[in-house]
Amino acid sequence: MARWLRVLVVTLIATAAAGAQFDRPAQRAYSPDVEYDGRVTFARIAWQTGSRYGGGWNSAWNHDYPRAEQHLSQILREITYLDIRMDGSKVMTLDDPELFRYPIAFMWEPGYWTMSDTEAQSFRAYLLKGGFAVFEDFDGPSQWANFEEQMRRVLPEGRWQVLGQETRIFDSFFAIKDIDAIVHPMGGMRPRYLGLYEDNDPGKRLIAVANFDNDIPEYWEWSGEGLFPFDSSNEAYKLGVNYFIYGITH
């Protein structure tokens, strides 16, 4: 019976992914600025660039938009009880007071990210008051150096810790058996998962996760198109679901 249920769940993921792929943004209105109404909403952080490590990536934060969040949201609606919005998401800056209404915030391409002092202060308050941040789509030493530099402005006391297979976030909804198997869809690099804990204590709440040397949302965006292996796309969705469930429940 347990094996049959696992097969059913995987089938639901595949079906929802394919259905999402056929529902193109051109066919369905999808707002980047939905009004808050208490429902779970996908929040994406917009930021300015100015990094000495990157240069020229003035819109890197919007990579995979909007299909990555559309598809992950549809998966969450299909296989969980989350009342997640399907008509749009919330794109906002770190100093937007509205950010505190959304318990989970995703940021793309933080290897090129810079922020103002006001944004740094607001982001610190958000994380310490219960917010959960997920950083996606960056790789290489120079991008990590820029990312780490920015986060030191937010949480100078924070220490990034490697998240191993045993970390509870990888078992918060789906039991992901091999986190290393979700490799970079383009480069095939071995992924690294790093996290910040409250008070740097692994026994406390994770407040941020960095999916480094990887591009997990690329799987979400292009699921159902045949660009990437079916099993890899499924595992990438499972990871996204786990992050949402962890963020909502912690």
Q: At what angle do helices 141-154 and 117-128 cross, to 10 degrees?
A: 80
Q: What is the pLDDT of residue 58?
A: 55
- Coil, strand or helix: which one is 72? helix
Query: Torsions phi, psi of 88, nearest 5?
Result: 165, 175
Whether 76 has a pLDDT exceeding 90, the answer reads: yes
* Structure tokens, 173: 């909804």
Whether 5 has a pLDDT exceeding 70, the answer reads: no
User: In the CATH scheme, what is the homologous superfamily, with its name and number, of domain 2-249?
Assistant: Domain of unknown function DUF4159 (3.40.50.12140)
- Coil, strand or helix: which one is 231? helix
169 and 242 Cβ atoms separated by less than 8 Å: yes
Q: What is the mean pLDDT of the chain?
A: 88
Distance CA 182, CA 231 (A): 9
Distance CA 51, CA 150 (A): 10
Q: What is the pLDDT of residue 148?
A: 97
Whether 13 has a pLDDT exceeding 80, the answer reads: no
The predicted model scores a pTM of: 0.87
Confidence band for 12, pLDDT divided at 50, 70 and 90: low
Confidence band for 50, pLDDT divided at 50, 70 and 90: low
Residues 6+ apart with CB under 8 A from 182: 176, 191, 214, 216, 219, 232, 235, 236, 239
Radius of gyration of the chain (CA): 17
Q: What is the pLDDT of residue 1?
A: 40
Distance CA 114, CA 48 (A): 6
